[in-house]
Amino acid sequence: MKISLADVQATLNLGIKLGQTLTPGTVILLEGDLGAGKTTLVQGIGQGLGITESIVSPTFTLINEYTQGHIPLYHLDLYRLEPSEVTGLNLESYWEGIEIEPGIVAIEWAERMPYQPECYLCVRLSYDDNGTRQADITGLHCNISELIAKI
């Protein structure tokens, strides 16, 4: 499904709706060029989850955990990593709930992952010819139609 995002606020609003709709264990793989709105979308997800803490891209820390919302939010950024380095992070512990409370897992630069979870949403953010952002949302082994109906 493609969604047109007129401005930054529209990207934030999409994230808020996702945060209000998604369930624990949901993994969102975020793809798009620098400045396409990946972090803005995650900020909206955090707002939708009731997180009041400032959400920033974990470019250098790799993983930020926000646990004070209705559901925990795990925000990962793989921009600085090579696929071989990603393997050592044991990312599956986030979506499998191993030693970590199940939450929403949002992964920026997901195309750098050498493996993916069995079930996930992929959100590809891009610009069209008019400079408007587009969000292309697809799912693997997820019932995306139910999710989209709520957005």
Per-residue pLDDT of the chain (151 residues; tens, 9 = 90+): 889 898 999 999 999 999 999 999 999 999 998 888 999 999 999 999 999 999 998 877 788 999 999 999 999 999 988 888 888 787 888 888 778 899 999 999 999 888 888 889 999 999 877 778 899 998 876 666 556 555 5
Here the tokens at position 75 are 């925000």
Q: Going by DSSP bridges, is the β-strand pair 120-127/133-140 parallel, antiparallel, or unpaired?
A: antiparallel
Cα angle value 70/4/141 (rounded, 5°): 55
CA distances in angstroms from 66 to 31, 50, 75, 149, listed in the order given: 21, 10, 8, 27
Partners of residue 136 on adjacent β-strands:
2, 124
pLDDT number for residue 150: 57
pLDDT number for residue 42: 97
pLDDT number for residue 144: 60
Q: Which residue has the tokens 């050592």?
A: 88
